[in-house]
Structure 1
Amino acid sequence: MKRHNAAEVPVPVSYGGERDEKTGSKVDKMGGGAARRWRSGGCCSRLWLVLVVFATVTMLLRHRYDSGLGHGAAAVVRIEPVHRKVKPADRGGARPSFSDSGSAKPVTVDHKSATTDSSTGTESDGGGEPSSASSSLPAAAHPFSRALAAAGDKGDRCGGRYVYVQELPPRFNTDMVKNCVALFPWKDMCKFTANGGFGPPMSAGGGVFQETGWYNSDKYTVDIIFHERMRRYECLTGDPSLAAAVYVPFFAGLEVWRHLWGFNATARDAMALEVVDIITSRPEWRAMGGRDHFFTAGLITWDFRRLADGDAGWGSKLFSLPAIKNMTALVVEASPWHLNDAAIPFPTAFHPASDEAVFVWQDKVRRLERPWLFSFAGAARPGSAKSIRSELITQCRASSACSLMECRDGPSNKCGSAASYMRLFQSSTFCLQPQGDSYTRKSAFDAMLAGCIPVFFHPGTAYVQYTWHLPRNHADYSVYISEDDVRRNASIEERLRRISPAAVERMRETVISLIPAVVYAQPSSRLDTMKDAFDVAVDAIVDKVTRLRRDIVDGRGEEEKLEMYSWKYPLLREGQKVEDPHEWDSLFAFA
């Protein structure tokens, strides 16, 4: 945000004026006559005063407009920053306190340490050039200088973690939830958008769940869940120059979802184009061209990458817009060949309110008896030549060590009940997780929540997707059997029986330890010793932006990456290059 220096506001010559560089005497820029008239208190002095007041008011109005407060009378959804004075603290430091209504109690955050240059004691102007000519801060010439300086402030626990929320009119977010009946043509989404996107609460399900913290959550409500958590994020700031990242509260998933059926391409793209116009016109955008901005788009990436022109193509073209390519989009399934989206977990039914709730659940699934070696919950895909689900169903039926839950349309569908499939996963050592309608499936996270070791058949289902939330070494927590091996009639049971009991225990313990990172906690929760899926995602975005900023300051510029290898980058180890051969190259051949 631009701050106006005193030099930009006209002042009377009697306040100073300029000096001649050679003589040191004052130079009267107004002309001798005008200066004399000002000193004599003539009529022009009153005219000059009027001009000063007019210029000052104009400057303030301009400043207000640039701050985003002058966009007319249209209402905006404002997420107020939780201001608090942060002190070093043990186990995560202080958090904002909330009233019974869930609103934050305002306290003051001291930004002085972030504003002041540590070497000179001079204050930055909050955006561009520093106010002092001498500064040892390498980033001083950059608009993100204060944010980088704050990252080094050990006395501020939020230093380097502040998030600024871009203001948008409510039709880009909360109005969609209010008009939930229009979100989906064949399904009542109103019950699933309730409770901050968690859906209706569930009972213990005959001992399958705990008494509280469990909800019938839909897999495509991440936009709402993330927004509710961000409203209560402990390190919000109203100062964009201090922010490590900028959150754009655009419910891109809900927006495209309500226009996927029965609408032309123009309708599907309209709001995407409009939101780009708004955010790119803001001062915050100019700092990094949007590379520090992020938003949620809680569907799969292919819903935003329309390939065909005209109305016949599927989805919107949101992710193809040049501005969006600079931002980070959080989706439940990312593209292996693009760089502007990142995958975060599908919502499960568990939304804990405390560390203790997580510990109790982990202890429960750790002690469970698991009579089945492996299980599968799902339906065949007879119309898909690529699907291996029919082979998995055949093998499961033929094995006395496998439990099968076939999903069917209609009220008798057991897969429609969270209690049914969670009971199945809790009784199984391994859970088969083939590709869904796309690469990923929500069931993988349900299985992990139950302490069941997932068996994947394609790396696109998890390994190249959730790289922020799952270990790089997939053998630590899962089993991989290639789809080609299944098609060649490799025995799944035989493969699983080869794994030693000690290895099974280690893998299960890793899966159980990952539960906090793949669930979304209550918005008002206090997870003091662990991070949930929201925390992991926000930390990853902040780290990404900070690395980019430091590279720019160090003169390395932005790292150029080839999109055809985008799936490889998170998997690279020390000394490896994307051009090096990988066993999955054929599975992600760039077309």
Structure 2
Amino acid sequence: MLHTKQIIRSRTFVKKMDNSLVTRSRKKCWFVFFFLFVSWYLLLYGIDWSSLHGVVTTSRYEANSIESFHPTSIPPPPPPHHENVNVSFNSNSSSINNDDATNNDTQSKEDDSSSIENDNVVVPDLAELEKELEPLLRKNEPQEEKKVEKIEEKKVEKNETKDDNKGRKSCEGRYIYVAEIPSKFNEDMLKQCKLLNKWEDMCQYLVNMGLGPDLGNPQRAFSNKGWFTTNQFSLEVLFHNRMKQYDCLTNDTSIASAVFVPYYSGFDVARYLWDDFNTSMRDAGAIEVAKFLKKKPEWRTMWGRDHFMIAGRITWDFRRGIEEDAAWGNKLMLLPETQNMTILTIESSPWNRNDFAIPYPTYFHPSSDSDVLQWQNRMRRLRRRVLFSFAGAPRPQLEESIRSEIMEQCLATRRKCKLLECTDLHNKCNKPVHVMKLFQNSIFCLQPSGDSFTRRSTFDSILAGCIPVFFTPGSMYVQYIWHLPKDYTKYSVLIPEDDVRKKKVSIENVLSKIPRSQVAAMREEVIKLIPNVVYADPRSRLETVEDAFDLAVKGVLERVDVMRKEMRQGKNDSMVFNEEYSWKYYTFGTLEKHEWDHFFLRTSKEKY
């Protein structure tokens, strides 16, 4: 019995010993496993193997990204085809570099070397000027590139507040009611487009919602999209189509801040400007529209002072002051009803108070903010080989025109001036590519008056980043007061036309003496103005950039708001002042004497 107990005890002891050994073994195994795991981890991630000579490591994430990035070998684009433009341009000097920044720098070096070989192409001091200006201009590029990068962020932010923008609070003071007028005053005219202009078929310019045919990118003078063959007199259709997508339209006249009248007055009068149509025929449409508006209940809210319309031609086509069939134009702007309205036109009268100038349509109609910013950056990078240029024709029938003197001065200094004459049978001024290439290649662009004060060419030059040179403030400074800075010296040069006419001044000397730092600052200011003078594609919507349409609407709303407050206070200051000084009142807010008074003296009111 005792022996049996001893055996049981010994077996129990042995069993305990076995369990203890197993437990210890397990603990050692776990310890070894843990040690090996830590060692493996440290070997794999704790040591920078790439620092050892001959050892290259690539994680699987890096491998995937490398495999997914196989740049395709794209052959360089062929050199642009240059037409034989009859403006004494060498192919090297007229070549405009329109590739990206890298290609631009490469081609610029090639152009520099070619300019040394041919002295007739690039004037040495102009090349030196461009080299000195380049760093001053390029310092603005990083900021613009950051703007492009932030576009998407701004779009996201705008989308987040889109519902709020649609609310009544965000549109307060901005609501516009579009007057319902008979279609014969707008849409029906387009159906008879062949009758809109005696000298040109306007039908081709009415496609793409008034933008005209797609221009493409001939000779790489433009960007790949957004360029159209837009007619300078198509603003009414273009503006109306932009208004259709305005974000604060309303059908409730009681909350409308302004009333837009979609009357195509320019197309209407253009049908009867020639072929000896009598005054009754020319005035009929304008008179009927005025009577129609006067009968509407919304007219009585401010007696038409909150109404505005587009007149897509110069103001003188609508200011016939005498009842003679031989006199020019109709009397739209002289009617009692329209005297109360705000009329937007491509050239206003310095001596009348009811019309305001907004930019001529250009060829560029961006569809996004990035389209604008990229074009601005591209204009900054251009190497400009010519000091100044002029595109136009003389006006021998106009005694006071200085165009002949300007063309003579340009021809006399051919090494620094390029002339694009618009008189031959193949008139290259009618082809946007020739005009834009000339302006892109020029530092300054001469903009003298023609048949009237203003020119579409002025806006083409701004679009090309070329500093405009004016010879009277009536060509720009007292015209587009909602779209341009008041300090005209920031973006342009003024040379009095009398000094040119009397041969008292050399245009070359004036422009050559402008300090290079000032030239760089002026060009940058011109490039910044590009959004202000272009009309966006009506089929799209710019997110953060304000274009010419936006600024025009803002100007109208501010003007109407002032008149509304005056009416509530029993005042009438904005409508009662000497019209002869309208240019001074609207530009400077005063009727006091001004240094420009001599520019606007009228010996005969029948002239304008």
- Structure 2 counterpart of 1:585, which letter? D
Q: Please state whether the residue corresponding to 1:329 is helix, strand or coil.
A: strand
Q: Percent identity?
A: 50
Deviation at 1:474, TM superposition (A): 0.7
The 5 A counterparts of 1:162-241 are 162-241=175-254
Give the Cα–Cα distance (whole angstroms) in 2 for the partners of residues 108 and 450 of structure 1. 34
Of the three residues 493, 496, 499, the one matched with 1:479 is 493
Deviation at 1:308, TM superposition (A): 2.5
Give the Cα–Cα distance (whole angstroms) in 1 for the partners of residues 344 and 160 of structure 2. 27
* Aligned 8 A contact 1:164 1:247 in 2: yes
* Aligned 8 A contact 2:314 2:346 in 1: yes
* Aligned 8 A contact 2:165 2:171 in 1: no
Deviation at 1:556, TM superposition (A): 3.7
Q: 1:307 to 1:93 in 2, by over 3 A?
A: farther
Q: Please state whether the residue corresponding to 2:312 is helix, strand or coil.
A: coil
The 5 A counterparts of 1:250-289 are 250-262=263-275, 263-289=277-303
- Structure 2 counterpart of 1:562, which letter? N
Deviation at 1:309, TM superposition (A): 1.2
* Aligned 8 A contact 2:389 2:419 in 1: yes
Deviation at 1:570, TM superposition (A): 2.7
Q: Please state whether the residue corresponding to 2:546 is helix, strand or coil.
A: coil
Q: 1:273 to 1:555 in 2, by over 3 A?
A: closer
Deviation at 1:562, TM superposition (A): 1.5
Q: Please state whether the residue corresponding to 1:200 is helix, strand or coil.
A: coil
Q: 1:492 to 1:166 in 2, by over 3 A?
A: same
Is 2:485 the counterpart of 1:498? no
Give the Cα–Cα distance (whole angstroms) in 2 for the partners of residues 359 and 441 of structure 1. 25
Q: 1:108 to 1:333 in 2, by over 3 A?
A: closer
Cα shift readout 1:268-291 (whole Å, capped 9, x = no counterpart): 111111111110000100000000
Deviation at 1:93, TM superposition (A): 7.7
Deviation at 1:557, TM superposition (A): 4.2
Q: 1:195 to 1:357 in 2, by over 3 A?
A: same
Q: 1:316 matched to which residue of 2?
A: 330
Of the three residues 547, 568, 576, the one matched with 2:584 is 568
Of the three residues 387, 396, 406, the one matched with 2:401 is 387
Deviation at 1:91, TM superposition (A): 5.2
Deviation at 1:439, TM superposition (A): 0.7
Of the three residues 571, 581, 584, the one matched with 2:593 is 581
Q: 2:450 matched to which residue of 1?
A: 436
Q: Please state whether the residue corresponding to 1:290 is helix, strand or coil.
A: coil
Of the three residues 505, 518, 531, the one matched with 1:516 is 531
Q: 2:560 matched to which residue of 1?
A: 545
Deviation at 1:90, TM superposition (A): 5.2
* Aligned 8 A contact 1:92 1:528 in 2: no
- Structure 1 counterpart of 2:189, which letter? M
Q: Please state whether the residue corresponding to 1:504 is helix, strand or coil.
A: helix
Deviation at 1:350, TM superposition (A): 0.1
* Aligned 8 A contact 1:95 1:234 in 2: no
Give the Cα–Cα distance (whole angstroms) in 2 for the partners of residues 453 and 309 of structure 1. 42
Deviation at 1:264, TM superposition (A): 1.2
Cα shift readout 1:70-122 (whole Å, capped 9, x = no counterpart): xxxxxxxxxxxxxxxxxxx95598569xxxxxxxxxx99665xxxxxxxxxxx
* Aligned 8 A contact 1:348 1:519 in 2: yes
* Aligned 8 A contact 1:552 1:558 in 2: no
Give the Cα–Cα distance (whole angstroms) in 2 for the partners of residues 295 and 571 of structure 1. 21
Deviation at 1:259, TM superposition (A): 1.2
Q: 2:361 matched to which residue of 1?
A: 347
Give the Cα–Cα distance (whole angstroms) in 2 for the partners of residues 428 and 282 of structure 1. 52
- Structure 1 counterpart of 2:501, which letter? R
CA RMSD between the two structures: 1.8
Cα shift readout 1:106-152 (whole Å, capped 9, x = no counterpart): x99665xxxxxxxxxxxxxxxxxxxxxxxxxxxxxxxxxxxxxxxxx
Deviation at 1:526, TM superposition (A): 2.5
Give the Cα–Cα distance (whole angstroms) in 2 for the partners of residues 109 and 219 of structure 1. 33
Give the Cα–Cα distance (whole angstroms) in 1 for the partners of residues 281 and 185 of structure 2. 14
Is 2:327 the counterpart of 1:327? no
Q: Please state whether the residue corresponding to 2:219 is helix, strand or coil.
A: coil
Give the Cα–Cα distance (whole angstroms) in 2 for the partners of residues 385 and 160 of structure 1. 48
* Aligned 8 A contact 2:395 2:450 in 1: no
* Aligned 8 A contact 1:93 1:157 in 2: no
Q: Please state whether the residue corresponding to 1:247 is helix, strand or coil.
A: strand
* Aligned 8 A contact 1:92 1:529 in 2: no
Moved more, 365-374 or 185-194: 185-194
Q: 1:461 matched to which residue of 2?
A: 475
Cα shift readout 1:375-414 (whole Å, capped 9, x = no counterpart): 001111122211111111111111111111111242x211
* Aligned 8 A contact 1:294 1:329 in 2: yes
Deviation at 1:255, TM superposition (A): 0.4
Q: 1:532 matched to which residue of 2?
A: 547
Q: 2:153 matched to which residue of 1?
A: none
Give the Cα–Cα distance (whole angstroms) in 1 for the partners of residues 445 and 318 of structure 2. 30
Aligned residues: 444
Give the Cα–Cα distance (whole angstroms) in 2 for the partners of residues 313 and 92 of structure 1. 54
* Aligned 8 A contact 1:345 1:445 in 2: yes
Task: Give the greater-gyration-radius structure (CA).
Answer: 2
- Structure 2 counterpart of 1:252, which letter? S
* Aligned 8 A contact 2:166 2:248 in 1: no
Give the Cα–Cα distance (whole angstroms) in 1 for the partners of residues 564 and 423 of structure 2. 51
Give the Cα–Cα distance (whole angstroms) in 2 for the partners of residues 354 and 360 of structure 1. 10
TM-score (norm 2): 0.71
- Comparing both chains, which one has the higher relative contact order based on Cα–Cα distances under 8 Å and sequence gaps of 6 or more? 2
Give the Cα–Cα distance (whole angstroms) in 2 for the partners of residues 108 and 439 of structure 1. 40
Q: Please state whether the residue corresponding to 1:370 is helix, strand or coil.
A: coil
Give the Cα–Cα distance (whole angstroms) in 2 for the partners of residues 372 and 185 of structure 1. 38
- Structure 1 counterpart of 2:227, which letter? W
Give the Cα–Cα distance (whole angstroms) in 2 for the partners of residues 94 and 436 of structure 1. 47
Give the Cα–Cα distance (whole angstroms) in 1 for the partners of residues 587 and 179 of structure 2. 32
Give the Cα–Cα distance (whole angstroms) in 1 for the partners of residues 184 and 340 of structure 2. 23
Query: Which structure shows the higher helix fraction?
Result: 2
- Structure 1 counterpart of 2:537, which letter? Q
Cα shift readout 1:196-245 (whole Å, capped 9, x = no counterpart): 11110111111100111000111000100000001111100011110110
Give the Cα–Cα distance (whole angstroms) in 1 for the partners of residues 171 and 177 of structure 2. 12
Give the Cα–Cα distance (whole angstroms) in 2 for the partners of residues 92 and 339 of structure 1. 40
Give the Cα–Cα distance (whole angstroms) in 1 for the partners of residues 369 and 226 of structure 2. 12
The 5 A counterparts of 1:352-391 are 352-391=366-405
TM-score (norm 1): 0.73
Cα shift readout 1:450-472 (whole Å, capped 9, x = no counterpart): 00000000111111111111111
- Structure 2 counterpart of 1:295, which letter? M
Deviation at 1:311, TM superposition (A): 1.1
